[in-house]
């Protein structure tokens, strides 16, 4: 029967990641944002936690954990600082394209060397309507934004294939709207850039995209939770018209709706993660797409209202709520964007012969 | 973490589906067309009783034991949300019309004495015929503001004399008894509330008026009056002891906490019925190529699934005997709006066909609105949540 308790070992991991995120990331988020990097001593503490290689198979030195662990850990890290969460995960979602399409061999060849280079970053370009073009083994094109200041490995994920692209790339720094702690650049590929390894499989590419969406959805839930919680605490302290602003019904109702949005998004996130871990058929991919859409909608409802609850103070950079609004905006533009996810989930829905939600005992 | 339904519950859901498809949906449509509740002597009700429906979940009193003696992990709240959703999928109005002790059962279990449970619930253990219980809190002048009820209970010898008017009580005119909330002293507010079991035929109980509703026509929502209605002291829920002072109001609130996830699940069920009908219509009318239609369907599937998970979580917490007031209210605040949106989408797709008044989706559009009103409006749910999350004061408005 359904049961929402996290497995005990995952609950413990959640606790330690939450402590790290709140004690090490949150207090330094403005510093990391300005530096476009996470301080080395914080990165070292993160490595001790062992969550940087969370989903890498144990045989390759990773923790070998699954999607539910990813969902829980990434929510916690992003609730501390989403930009830092991206910066601290050198492989990022490139891991999914490599492992789903290329398997362990691809991980050995491309991921492991990256992990031993300090500060190295892999970037996954989700490229469903290709902006990067390949002619033979030549690669050309440009990506207007990647959340990194250096690109040591570029993995491109299309609908039916994934490939690794070697440099040289031109990486030009941008100011970046959000996630600045991870860096922000324009990536131009021209000249001698080569397609190095290529794998073709529509179902594996779909799964890699699903896992990417789940990762981003988890971070969106974390950012939304941070904003909702911060606004709640602020509203209990700030007094207007003789009482805490939280006790004016207009704000009380808004604040509880913000909390509900976070909870609903997290439940869909967990449902998608559980389906991925059960290695369900392509229904798991659709659940990931819809978890991403829900998380984006929740975050783009919650975080602007987080600013709203703080009023003028919310607009100033002394409080983190404006940053979370920018992070939510940036995150929800990743992984191919929300409209593509909506389209994928919608197509799966209407392609089904049966009732989509069916009996509770059936499809779910 | 487990998000699947166990085999036993799945089997029960399949049974409900069979019953829903063959009987509940047609009976509900029939009542909707007739514009009147399914009459108590409708053969469907006798059929239900013969099939084992209409019984109390009270298993009889064992000296000193809890009303629901736990054996193994509790899952009654989870089973309840699953069944509620599936019943409402087929027809929520018919589901409420089902024989049984109804909403009166929860306060009897929560604050009734063993003797009272025996007297009023025993006839529902293996009912000889369709029997109903009822529950009356709402009054013409007191809906969400439950503390404002004006029905009075005045002690007179071995009885209480009840006077007042009650509104919108489900199945009241056909019920064997009605759990009526009244105040022994209006100046005491909630502390003055008491719950009484008023039996059918008690002199002074009358003026039954079956309301005309926008939807959910299959069950009766009935208003009635109590005029010098003498109710024996033995029918005061919990007995007339000092310790039970205030138990009336608290009992009512406890029963709402227990039923909110199930009411929210009913909204999910109606929403799911709307989504399925919308999808079927869109397929037939070749609308599925339109990305706007797909996007809206996608949103409904996703939001309904989220609402369902909120219900499930609230029910799971109840089974774990953990506080779930916040989660129950969250589910109840979210689900009805989502379900209404699904019915709205469905009727949008129908176009003018939705204006004819003879399509299931049009009925669902009317039916579902009640779910944001009954057992605590969406606004009351938000107040309950705000008390938990924001320490909203009791009188805070």
Convert the pLDDT of each residue in B223-233 to its tens digit: 999 999 999 99
Residue with tokens 């995209």: A209
- Average pLDDT of the residues in A159-167: 94
- CA-based nearest distance A174→chain B, Å: 33
Q: Do B386 and A256 touch (CB under 8 A)?
A: yes
Q: For strand A243-244 and strand B152-156, is the pairing parallel, antiparallel, or unpaired? A: unpaired
Q: Which residue in chain B has the smallest CA separation from A248?
A: B397
- CA-based nearest distance B276→chain A, Å: 6
Chain B residues with CB inside 8 Å of A343's CB? 291, 294-295
Q: Over 70: is that where the pLDDT of A350 sits? A: yes
Buried b (16+ CB within 10 A) or exposed e, B79-97: bbbbbbbbbbbbbbbbbbb
Q: Do B307 and A264 touch (CB under 8 A)?
A: yes
What is the residue-wise DSSP string for B143-212? Answer: SS-GGG---EEEEETTEEEEEEEEEEEETGGG-SEEEEEEES-GGGGGGGEEEEEEETT-TTEEEEEEPP
Question: CB atoms < 10 A from the CB of A282, how many?
Answer: 14
Q: Rounded distance, CA A25 to CA A49, Å?
A: 13
Name the phi and psi angles at A162, rounded to 5.
-135, 150
Alpha-helical runs (H) found in chain A:
8-20, 29-35, 40-49, 67-87, 94-97, 103-106, 112-115, 202-237, 249-277, 282-310, 312-315, 321-331, 338-351
Chain B residues with CB inside 8 Å of A257's CB? 333, 382
Q: Which residue in chain B has the smallest CA separation from A278?
A: B2
Residue from the list A274, A290, A349 with its beta carbon closest to the beta carbon of B1: A274
Check residues A191 and A158 and name the one with the higher pLDDT.
Answer: A158
Q: What does the mean pLDDT of chain B come to?
A: 92
Within an 8 Å CB–CB cutoff, is residue A361 touching chain B? yes
Task: Bin B133: left if φ > 0, else alpha if -120 < ψ < 50, else beta.
Answer: beta
Q: What does the mean pLDDT of chain A come to?
A: 94
Residue with tokens 């969460």: A85
Q: Rounded distance, CA B183 to CA B153, Å?
A: 6
Within an 8 Å CB–CB cutoff, is residue A263 touching chain B? yes
Check residues A52 and A249 and name the one with the higher pLDDT.
Answer: A249
And the tokens for A51? 């969550």
Residues above pLDDT 70, as percent of chain B: 91
Residue from the list A247, A268, A350 with its beta carbon closest to the beta carbon of B309: A268
Q: Do B275 and A263 touch (CB under 8 A)?
A: no
Q: Do B3 and A271 touch (CB under 8 A)?
A: yes
3-state secondary structure of A61: coil
Q: Over 80: is that where the pLDDT of A335 sits? A: yes
Residues above pLDDT 90, as percent of chain A: 90
Q: Do B396 and A249 touch (CB under 8 A)?
A: yes
**Nearest Cα to A124, choosing from A44, A211, A60?**
A211
pLDDT at residue number B239: 85
Q: For strand B159-170 and strand A132-135, is the pairing parallel, antiparallel, or unpaired? A: unpaired
With residue A197 as reference, give the H or E element that holds it: strand A194-200
Q: Please tell me chain B's helix, strand, coil percentages from 3-state DSSP, rounded to the nearest 5.
A: 55, 15, 30
- CA-based nearest distance B301→chain A, Å: 7
pLDDT at residue number B145: 86
Q: Do A263 and B305 touch (CB under 8 A)?
A: no
**Nearest Cα to A51, choosing from A64, A42, A41?**
A64
For B301-350, the pLDDT digits (tens) are 999 999 999 999 999 999 999 999 999 999 999 999 999 999 999 999 99
Q: Do A4 and B301 touch (CB under 8 A)?
A: no
Residue from the list B9, B383, B389 with its beta carbon closest to the beta carbon of A1: B9
Q: Rounded distance, CA A84 to CA B205, Å?
A: 69
Q: Rounded distance, CA A226 to CA B98, Å?
A: 45
pLDDT at residue number B189: 84
Assess contact for B136 and B172: CB atoms under 8 A. yes
Q: Do B310 and A263 touch (CB under 8 A)?
A: yes
Assess contact for B335 and B367: CB atoms under 8 A. no
List the pLDDT tens digit at each of the 397 positions of chain B.
999 999 999 999 999 999 999 999 999 999 999 999 999 999 999 999 999 999 998 887 654 444 444 456 678 899 999 999 999 999 999 999 999 999 899 889 888 999 999 999 999 999 999 999 999 999 999 898 888 899 999 999 999 999 999 999 999 999 999 999 999 998 888 889 999 999 999 999 999 999 999 999 999 999 999 999 999 999 999 987 655 555 566 666 666 667 889 999 999 999 999 999 999 999 999 999 999 999 999 999 999 999 999 999 999 999 999 999 999 999 999 999 999 999 999 999 999 999 999 999 999 999 999 999 998 999 999 999 999 999 999 864 4
Residue with tokens 């490995």: A153
**Nearest Cα to B324, choosing from B332, B315, B333?**
B315
Within an 8 Å CB–CB cutoff, is residue A349 touching chain B? yes
Chain-centroid distance, C-alpha A25: 16
Residue from the list B291, B305, B397 with its beta carbon closest to the beta carbon of A357: B305
Assess contact for A62 and A53: CB atoms under 8 A. yes
Q: Do B10 and A247 touch (CB under 8 A)?
A: no
Residue from the list A249, A256, A359 with its beta carbon closest to the beta carbon of B397: A249
Among candidate residues B220, B327, B362, B375, the one labeled active-site is B375
pLDDT-derived band of residue A199, with 50, 70 and 90 as boundaries? very high
pLDDT-derived band of residue A281, with 50, 70 and 90 as boundaries? confident
pLDDT at residue number A279: 83
Q: What angle do CA A120, A126, A132 make, to 5 degrees?
A: 90
Q: Over 50: is that where the pLDDT of A363 sits? A: no
Residues above pLDDT 70, as percent of chain A: 96
Q: Which of residues 277-296 of A touch B (CB under 8 A)?
A: 290, 293-294
pLDDT at residue number B255: 63
- Average pLDDT of the residues in A305-321: 97
What is the residue-wise DSSP string for A111-159? Answer: IHHHHTSTT--EEEEE-SS-SEEEETTEEEEEEEEES-S--SEEEEE-S
- Tell whether omega for the bond before A28 is within 30 degrees of 0, i.e. cis: no
Within an 8 Å CB–CB cutoff, is residue A229 touching chain B? no
pLDDT at residue number B345: 98
B375 catalytic residue (yes or no): yes
Residue from the list B1, B86, B383 with its beta carbon closest to the beta carbon of A270: B1
Q: Do B282 and A343 touch (CB under 8 A)?
A: no
Within an 8 Å CB–CB cutoff, is residue A250 touching chain B? no
Within an 8 Å CB–CB cutoff, is residue A240 touching chain B? no
Spatial neighbors of A288 by CB under 8 A, at least 6 apart, are A210, A211, A213, A214, A217, A272, A275, A276
Q: Do B333 and A274 touch (CB under 8 A)?
A: no
Size of interface A-B (CB pairs under 8 A): 177
The one-character DSSP state at A168 is: -
Q: Do B312 and A268 touch (CB under 8 A)?
A: no
Chain B residues with CB inside 8 Å of A228's CB? none
Enter the pTM of the model: 0.94
């Amino acid at each position: 029967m359904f049961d929402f308790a996290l497995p005990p070992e995952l609950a413990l991991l959640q606790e330690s990641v939450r402590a790290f995120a709140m004690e090490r990331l949150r207090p330094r988020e403005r510093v990391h944002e300005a530096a476009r990097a996470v301080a080395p001593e914080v990165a070292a503490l993160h490595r001790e936690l062992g969550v940087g290689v969370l989903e890498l198979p144990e045989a390759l030195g990773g923790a070998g954990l699954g999607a539910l662990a990813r969902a829980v850990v990434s929510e916690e890290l992003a609730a501390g600082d989403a930009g830092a969460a991206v910066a601290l995960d050198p492989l990022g979602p490139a891991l999914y394209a490599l492992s789903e399409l290329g398997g362990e061999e691809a991980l050995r060849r491309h991921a492991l060397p990256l992990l031993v280079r300090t500060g190295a970053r892999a970037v996954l370009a989700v490229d469903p309507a290709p902006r990067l073009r390949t002619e033979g083994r030549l690669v050309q094109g440009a990506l207007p934004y990647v959340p990194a200041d250096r690109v040591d490995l570029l993995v491109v994920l299309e609908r039916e294939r994934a490939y690794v692209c070697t440099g040289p790339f031109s990486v030009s720094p941008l100011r970046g709207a959000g996630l600045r702690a991870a860096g922000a650049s324009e990536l131009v590929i021209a000249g001698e850039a080569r397609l190095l390894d290529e794998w073709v499989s529509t179902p594996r590419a779909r799964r890699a995209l699903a896992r990417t969406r789940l990762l981003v959805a988890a971070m969106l839930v974390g950012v939304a939770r941070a904003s909702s919680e911060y606004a709640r605490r602020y509203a209990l302290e700030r007094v207007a018209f003789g009482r805490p602003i939280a006790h004016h019904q207009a704000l009380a109702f808004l604040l509880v709706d913000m909390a509900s949005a976070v909870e609903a998004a997290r439940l869909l996130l967990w449902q998608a993660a559980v389906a991925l871990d059960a290695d369900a058929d392509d229904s798991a991919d659709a659940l990931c797409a819809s978890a991403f859409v829900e998380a984006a909608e929740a975050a783009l409802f919650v975080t602007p209202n987080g600013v709203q609850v703080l009023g003028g103070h919310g607009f100033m950079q002394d409080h983190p709520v404006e940053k979370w609004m920018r992070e939510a905006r940036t995150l929800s533009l990743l992984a191919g964007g929300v409209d593509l996810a909506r389209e994928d989930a919608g197509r799966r829905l209407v392609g089904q012969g049966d009732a989509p939600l069916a009996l509770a005992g059936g499809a779910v | 973490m487990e998000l699947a339904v166990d085999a036993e519950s799945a089997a029960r859901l399949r049974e409900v589906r069979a019953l829903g498809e063959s009987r509940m949906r047609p009976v509900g449509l029939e009542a909707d067309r007739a514009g009147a509740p399914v009459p108590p002597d409708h053969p469907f009700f006798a059929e239900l009783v013969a099939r084992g429906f209409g019984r109390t979940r009270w298993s009889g009193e064992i000296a000193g034991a809890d009303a629901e003696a736990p054996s193994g992990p509790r899952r009654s709240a989870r089973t309840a949300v699953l069944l509620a959703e599936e019943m409402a999928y087929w027809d929520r109005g018919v589901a409420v019309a089902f024989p049984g002790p109804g909403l009166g059962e929860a306060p009897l279990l929560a604050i009734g004495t063993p003797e009272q449970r025996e007297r009023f619930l025993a006839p529902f253990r293996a009912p000889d015929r369709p029997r109903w219980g009822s529950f009356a809190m709402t009054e013409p002048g007191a809906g969400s503001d439950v503390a404002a009820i004006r029905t009075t209970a005045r002690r007179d010898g071995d009885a209480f004399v009840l006077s007042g008017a009650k509104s919108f009580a489900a199945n009241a005119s056909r019920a064997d008894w009605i759990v009526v909330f009244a105040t022994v002293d209006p100046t005491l507010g909630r502390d003055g509330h008491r719950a009484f079991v008023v039996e059918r035929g008690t002199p002074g109980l009358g003026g039954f008026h079956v309301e005309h509703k926008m939807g959910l026509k299959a069950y009766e929502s009935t208003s009635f009056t109590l005029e010098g209605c003498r109710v024996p002291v033995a029918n005061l829920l919990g007995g007339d002891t000092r310790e039970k002072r205030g138990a009336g109001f608290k009992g009512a609130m406890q029963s709402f906490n227990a039923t909110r996830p199930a009411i929210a699940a009913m909204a999910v069920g109606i929403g799911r019925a709307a989504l399925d009908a919308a999808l079927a219509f869109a397929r037939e009318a070749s609308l599925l190529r339109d990305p706007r239609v797909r996007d809206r369907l996608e949103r409904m599937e996703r939001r309904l699934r989220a609402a369902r998970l909120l219900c499930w979580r609230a029910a799971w917490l109840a089974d774990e005997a953990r506080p779930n007031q916040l989660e129950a209210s969250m589910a109840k605040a979210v689900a009805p709006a989502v379900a209404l949106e699904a019915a709205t989408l469905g009727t949008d797709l129908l176009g003018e066909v939705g204006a004819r008044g003879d399509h299931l989706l049009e009925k669902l559009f009317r039916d579902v609105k009640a779910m944001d009103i009954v057992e605590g409006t969406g606004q009351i749910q938000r107040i309950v949540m705000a008390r938990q999350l924001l320490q909203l004061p009791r009188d805070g408005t």
